[in-house]
Structure 1
Amino acid sequence: MFFLLWGVLVWLGATGVFKLAGHFFFSPENPTLMILSYLLVIPLILVLTLPLYKWKQLNDHEKLKAAIFIALPGMLLDVIVLLNFQEIFTNLSPDADQYFASWLLWAYSLMIMTGFLKAKTK
């Protein structure tokens, strides 16, 4: 339950950021910022997941399950968001929906991949 709740909180935070400032991240006229948004999500995902796995002392199997539970709420909720993109993200160009959707797939893929990272052995 903890990881599902964490996933909802991560989704709420990210959706809020993009609702308020998404035009900085997903502007087809500014490819540099779009590329940065794809790159900067990598360390962000690592910070949002790996310390939790360590704190909860998860084994490799539990990490994969936790990663799926973190990603799942956002993936389900973003189905609704993407279907209502123009109404929700009024600050974004309607043309930005494809970039936003691809960024979401990228971010959720990274999130799930953290569950495959092996723990360091001592």
Structure 2
Amino acid sequence: MAKTILVVDDSSSVRQVVGIALKGAGYEVIEACDGKDALTKLTGQKVHLIISDVNMPNMDGISFVKEVKQLSAYRFTPIIMLTTESQEAKKQEGQAAGAKAWVVKPFQPAQMLSAVSKLILP
């Protein structure tokens, strides 16, 4: 049974690169273009992991993480922030919101897959 990962990024090229890497590793991928769009995709199905950008229109990644943590079905879903932001303050804000890992763009797919495999629950 493939694990499902929700990828949230306003850049379609980033979603594509992440999607190709994840699908190549055997994961199912759901894509969303921002936090609001992502929340509409969380309809109760099992999502094993969320990968989210920080800077997005409509709803940024940190707000999105806070919203996800309010949803009982997804409260324990691990979240990786994939972003160009590398300042400590942003990382701490992300961790405080509930993000489990922080991957800085540009990223190596192998580095991201390693973070995914450590966080994804069996």
Comparing both structures, which one devotes a greater share of its residues to strand?
2
Bigger relative contact order, structure 1 or 2, given CA contacts below 8 A and separation 6+?
Answer: 1
Comparing both structures, which one devotes a greater share of its residues to helix?
1
TM-score, scaled to structure 2: 0.31
Say which one has the larger Rg. Answer: 1
TM-score, scaled to structure 1: 0.31
